[in-house]
Amino acid sequence: MANSWLNAYVLHRRPYRETSFIVDFFTLELGRVSAVARGVRSAKSDRRSLLQPFQALRVQLSGKSDLKNLTQLESNGALRMLTGNALYCALYVNEITNRVLPGGVEAAELYSAYATALAALQPEQAAAEYILRQYELALLQELGVMPDFTTDAASNDPIEPTFHYELVPELGFCQVKQASKFSFSGTELLMLAEQDFSPPGLKAAKRLCRLALHPFVG
C-alpha cells in the first residue's frame, strides 16, 4: 500500500496531538479509511490546505492497522468552493457517508456517485433534493438494503398502485390494510422503481431513504 496512489476525498478531519490530524478519507480503491496526517497543523506544513472537504486528492498510505499513516498527498483537481445550500448539502453527503459506510471495503460505484453528486451541487442549485436522493439511493444499494419496489415481499404478488405497503427490515415492502405515516402507496413504489423524480417521486424517495438509513444512523 505504501507505494500505491489512491484516489481520495476528505470526509472529516479532527485534531490529533499537537500538530496532526486524523483524517477520514473516502477512497476509490479502499472505500472509507482513516489515517494520521502527521505535522500538517504546524505553520511550516504546506499540506494542510489540501486536506479540505470536496478536494479531489491522490494519497499514499502506510500501516497494517485500521488507522493508517498518510505518507504522500497531492491535489487531483481544483478545490470545489461551495457556498450556501450547496455547501450544506455537500456536508450532509460527507457526514452520511462517514457514518454508515463500513471501513476498508471497496465501494467503487458509490465513489463514482459521490464524485458525481459533488460535481452537480452548485450555489443556488434548484435540483439539490434530486442530487441528494440519488446519492442516498446509491448508498442504500451499496449497503445492500435497497428494497424491491415492484413485488410484495410477503406474497410475491406485483405491487398494486391502489394498495398500501410498509417497509419491513431485511424483508422488503409488504401490503398493509390501512395507510399510515409509515406506509407507501403502490403508486409511490412504482414511481421509485421507474426512478420517477417528479415532486411526488422525490417526496417518496426522501421518506424511503430516511426509513432505510435510520438503522445505520440511529
pLDDT tens-digit map of 72-97: 999 998 777 888 889 999 999 999 99
Please tell me the pTM assigned to this model. 0.92
Long-range pairs for 119-125: beta carbons < 8 A, 24 or more residues apart? 119/80, 121/82, 121/86, 121/89, 121/90, 122/86, 123/82, 123/83, 123/84, 123/85, 123/86, 124/84, 124/85, 124/86, 125/85, 125/86, 125/89
pLDDT tens-digit map of 168-194: 988 999 999 999 999 999 999 999 999
Q: What is the mean pLDDT of residues 106-118?
A: 97
